[in-house]
Amino acid sequence: MSLTPPSNVGYLIDRYLDGQITAQEMDRLNNVLRSNASARREFAKHLDLDSSLAEFAASQSGEEAAVRDIVELNAMAFKRTTIGRILLSAAAVLALLVGSWWWYVKLTPFATVARSVATPGLADGVQVRHEPHQIKTGMVELITVRGARLVIEAPAEFFFESSQRLNMRSGRLTADVPPQAKGFTVITPAGKAIDLGTRFAIDISSETQSEVHVFEGEVVAQSTGSSRKQLLTAFTAVRLGGELKSTACDVRYGAFVGDREISAMAEAFRLGQRERAQVAKTLLQQDPAMLAWLDFGVGEEASPLQVGSQVIGARRVQGRFPGTSAIDFVNSEDCVKLDLDSRIPAFTLMAWVRLNQLEGRQNSLYSTDEWGELGQVHWMIGDVGRLRFAIKGSEPNANGDSNVWLESQPRMDSELQRWVHLAIAYDSNAGKAVQYLNGQAIVVAPMPKKLLAALGPAQVGNWKPKEGFRHLPRRRLSGRLDEFAAFARALSATEIADYFEASTPYK
């Protein structure tokens, strides 16, 4: 069967729309529509229908979409008074094709699994059709028949209505859509996103809220039940919510796993990196100097060393390995309350972090509630990716205050928008502090000797100054936190490097 409409199809469609088509010409048009998918697609396009009807007309949509679009076609028929009778006839032709199309949809692959990480039933090479899928752990990369590259991260529920329509009930998705797949549509409970040739992402946080993030190109976003369509361009995002509303929101670049990243994560998982990370974590947790280990697991997965911490607001999401947990700081109130209740000469803080973006001059990792007592600690990331550490000292510095700073050189935002391991090792006996990024010491600075660190009530993540310190600006942290560990000693460079190598999710 030819995929290109006959040369006279355009003429017949024009005659049809002008209401001048003869009975003989109508028979010819109906015969073409019955036998040629490309002609049906062209016909639907001329009727100004949306992407779902275009797919239906191309023999690639589901039964519900097909019936819905035929109803819409009938409604249009009655509105176009000059050609109502003919439109109704064409709708009947399309309706007769529904039965044969439905079994075709059941057998037609819409996408193929290019790469999977811990997703049972969706192994590499599996063809994905209309059937529903639920992935509780891991992630999967799909390539549609038109070449759209999709990465879906658990927990997620989805099914394809067609090769150009993906219905998602939950989960996170990144889509890289080439020109030949322009019009690819993602439907969520809160609304839909129609691609116009771009790279975009979807985050479905609940039945009533979804976010659309555009990284390149353009996307049309529309809330469920609303006729209003928003054109989103690069570096913009919108939150689709209840009551037909949509509101602008921050673009969270690091919130989504892309096709380049998933390959390194799939290889690490295949090589048993998750098991090595668990062994390395268990060994460190046996250290007598351990103060806390927050892994944000639930039930049996939770570390007993996170007792005394309290998660405020942050949403639990998948961690850096399938089946593990992390918390996602999105709103400015999201944080973890933690009191290490220690005054010690040396300590190490370390965390697995994935930033959505850098906001403001200071992005807080760990900050004591107050900033006035000798030895209080603030650990942050600056607006250009500088890793910053400050401890309250007693001797005025060149700026006239007593803050002791340790700051790295700027880092690229993209470097921090994937899983990175950060650590600060402070040793007042040796009179130094060291900042680490992915197991490597990136900056060393002298510290006042014998200055005890006061690790009392603190906030991990977003930091809100207490009463009496409101003159200090609030500090955001937008991103995921997988682990946060604290020790009452300065871990060595070898210990930190070894833990990074054993626990990285990439290979």
Question: Is residue 267 assigned to a domain?
Answer: no
> 363 with 346, same domain?
yes
Place of tokens 């100054």: 465
296: left (phi over 0), alpha (psi -120 to 50) or beta: left
> 42 with 152, same domain?
no
Given 3-state DSSP classes, what are the helix, strand and coil percentages for the chain, each rounded to the nearest 5? Answer: 25, 40, 35
> 448 with 334, same domain?
yes
352: left (phi over 0), alpha (psi -120 to 50) or beta: beta
CATH number of the domain enclosing 251: 2.60.120.1440
- Tokens coding 493: 């460079």
CATH number of the domain enclosing 415: 2.60.120.200
> 94 with 25, same domain?
yes
> 118 with 99, same domain?
no
Positions of E strands within 118-266:
127-128, 133-135, 139-144, 149-162, 165-176, 185-188, 191-195, 199-206, 209-216, 218-223, 230-233, 236-240, 246-248
Classified as helix, coil or strand, 128 is strand
Strand partners, 363: 381, 476
> 82 with 38, same domain?
yes
> 394 with 426, same domain?
yes
> 316 with 401, same domain?
yes
- Contact between 60 and 105 (Cβ < 8 Å): yes
Question: Is residue 245 assigned to a domain?
Answer: yes
- Contact between 432 and 348 (Cβ < 8 Å): no
Determine the pLDDT at residue 68.
Answer: 44
H or E element, residue 429? none
The residue type found at 111 is A
CA distance 11 to 303: 70
Determine the pLDDT at residue 32.
Answer: 83
Q: What is the pTM of this model?
A: 0.78
Could you say which of 237, 259, 281 is where a domain stops? 259
Could you say which of 203, 235, 259 is where a domain stops? 259
Question: Is residue 364 assigned to a domain?
Answer: yes
Into how many domains does the chain fold? Answer: 3
CA distance 323 to 330: 21
Tell me how long the chain is: 507
- Contact between 214 and 202 (Cβ < 8 Å): no
Long-range residue pairs from 373-380, CB within 8 A, at least 24 positions apart, any chain:
373/454, 373/456, 374/451, 374/452, 374/454, 375/343, 375/451, 375/452, 375/453, 375/454, 376/454, 376/456, 377/426, 377/453, 377/454, 377/455, 377/458, 378/463, 379/349, 379/424, 380/475
Question: Is residue 265 assigned to a domain?
Answer: no
CA distance 237 to 252: 8
CA distance 183 to 197: 7
Could you say which of 259, 286, 307 is where a domain stops? 259
> 116 with 219, same domain?
yes
Question: Average pLDDT by consecutive 10-residue portion of the chain (507 residues)?
Answer: 50 65 77 79 55 39 41 42 49 51 67 94 93 95 96 96 94 96 94 93 90 96 89 94 75 88 94 96 96 80 66 92 92 92 97 86 89 90 86 67 72 80 96 95 92 95 76 81 96 98 96
H or E element, residue 117? strand 111-117
Determine the pLDDT at residue 44.
Answer: 63
Determine the pLDDT at residue 460.
Answer: 95
- Tokens coding 487: 């020790």
> 97 with 116, same domain?
no
> 21 with 42, same domain?
yes
Strand partners, 357: 478
H or E element, residue 494? helix 493-503
Question: Is residue 157 assigned to a domain?
Answer: yes
Question: Is residue 266 assigned to a domain?
Answer: no
Q: What angle do CA 126, 131, 133 make, to 5 degrees?
A: 75
Question: Is residue 4 assigned to a domain?
Answer: no
H or E element, residue 65? helix 63-79
Place of tokens 């682990």: 483
Domain with 71 in it:
9-104
Q: What angle do CA 447, 451, 456 make, to 5 degrees?
A: 115
Question: Is residue 83 assigned to a domain?
Answer: yes
CA distance 330 to 314: 7
> 131 with 99, same domain?
no
